[in-house]
A and B are shown apart, each in its own frame.
Chain A
């Protein structure tokens, strides 16, 4: 947004990648010895959480068996999570994870979609803290489900020594399995969401900035005539970012469900 604020004739400032993602704090306060910085992104984060909570609480305030109005609309969302995420992976006994998975899906989707809402245009999940914490939640959850349904020794024994494998193979299989299950799963959950949002934000910034540069700061007539091309590309990218926001939320949630299912009933 600071790119487009440059007036015609002024110097065009190309931001670095670090600059694209910095949160400029406008207030600082200390609480119990910890310094908190308040920036607009924090405001938008809490506003998103408040809006989501408000919509879902109001929609289901007096919920009826035959839905209508907002409850009907929200039940489409709940049905989507149940039919496409919980039932194919965990099955009917996954119903007790429905609140967690539905909240996670809509929370991640809302945070992702903030990247294309005009005025905000910053996907909050492109700061590593948020995907990292969500991945940590999924990690703790599927470890907890595994330990509770199979017992501590049986669960970790099943991860480290999968059955049906001749004994010498365990030398190479066990480290690979431990790495893949206990370390890769939360790490890739976090990095996948983070990388997609970072890449999308950088691409949007490049094409928006290119449109502004071609139109306002280009020398001669050629660049100004060519400026519709990055403009059309930025329109296409906004639609693509919406699609990616939905897909990444879906993949995060369905992978959490797959890991929970793997912890509850181990594949033989």
Chain B
């Protein structure tokens, strides 16, 4: 364990952290954005007259879901 701790101190872990933070941060929002748009597409396909009602809510939901992925992107720059 001592060797592991020493190796971790010696190695530069910042790039690994940078890569991990954005990679892990974008899994959830990717699925969420896919869900938002798939449900919006289904809603508009079932009832095309509802497109005007669905579209603003779709964009609002997309913005909120993508916010977390963008936080990961910001942390990428903050780490290193």
Chain A interfacial positions (CB closer than 8 Å to B):
87-89, 180, 184-185, 187-188, 191-192, 195, 251, 254-255, 258, 261-262
Closest partner residue, chain A, to B53 (CB atom):
A88
Q: Which of B55, B56, B60, B73 contacts A191 (CB 8 A)?
A: B73
Kindly state the separation between the CA atoms of A180 and B59 in the bound complex, as whole angstroms. Answer: 15
Q: Which of A180, A195, A261 contacts B56 (CB 8 A)?
A: A261
User: Does B67 count as interface, using CB distance less than 8 angstroms?
Assistant: yes
Given the contacts A195-B73, A258-B60, A188 and B55 also touching, CB distance less than 8 Å: no
The distance from the CB of B17 to the nearest CB of chain A, in whole angstroms, is: 17
Q: Which residues of A contact B62 (CB under 8 A)?
A: 251
Whether the pair B64, A180 counts as a contact (CB closer than 8 A) is yes
Q: How many residues of B contact A (CB 8 A)?
A: 14
Whether the pair A255, B70 counts as a contact (CB closer than 8 A) is no
Whether the pair A191, B64 counts as a contact (CB closer than 8 A) is no
Q: Which residues of A contact B64 (CB under 8 A)?
A: 180, 184
The distance from the CB of B63 to the nearest CB of chain A, in whole angstroms, is: 5
Q: Count the A-B residue pairs with Cβ separation under 8 angstroms: how many?
A: 41
Kindly state the separation between the CA atoms of A191 and B66 in the bound complex, as whole angstroms. Answer: 10
Whether the pair B59, A255 counts as a contact (CB closer than 8 A) is yes
Whether the pair B56, A184 counts as a contact (CB closer than 8 A) is no
Whether the pair B63, A255 counts as a contact (CB closer than 8 A) is yes
B interface SS class: helix
A interface SS class: helix
Q: Which residues of B contact A89 (CB under 8 A)?
A: 55-56, 59
User: Does B24 count as interface, using CB distance less than 8 angstroms?
Assistant: no
Whether the pair A184, B59 counts as a contact (CB closer than 8 A) is no
Kindly state the separation between the CA atoms of A262 and B74 in the bound complex, as whole angstroms. Answer: 26
Given contacts A195-B70, A258-B59, 8 further A-B contacts (CB under 8 A): A88-B52, A187-B74, A188-B63, A191-B70, A192-B66, A251-B62, A255-B59, A258-B60
Q: Which residues of B contact A180 (CB under 8 A)?
A: 64, 67
The distance from the CB of B49 to the nearest CB of chain A, in whole angstroms, is: 13
Whether the pair B55, A88 counts as a contact (CB closer than 8 A) is yes
The distance from the CB of A247 to the nearest CB of chain B, in whole angstroms, is: 11
Given the contacts A88-B55, A89-B56, A255-B59, A184 and B73 also touching, CB distance less than 8 Å: no
Whether the pair B74, A191 counts as a contact (CB closer than 8 A) is yes
Kindly state the separation between the CA atoms of A185 and B55 in the bound complex, as whole angstroms. Answer: 18
Closest partner residue, chain B, to A254 (CB atom):
B59
Kindly state the separation between the CA atoms of A184 and B67 in the bound complex, as whole angstroms. Answer: 7
| B 41-80 contacts with A by CB, 8 A | 51-52, 55-56, 59-60, 62-64, 66-67, 70, 73-74
The distance from the CB of A182 to the nearest CB of chain B, in whole angstroms, is: 13
Closest partner residue, chain A, to B63 (CB atom):
A255
Closest partner residue, chain B, to A183 (CB atom):
B67
6 chain-A/chain-B pairs, Cβ below 8 angstroms = A88-B52, A89-B56, A187-B67, A188-B67, A195-B70, A255-B60
Whether the pair A192, B55 counts as a contact (CB closer than 8 A) is no
Q: Which residues of A contact B73 (CB under 8 A)?
A: 191, 195
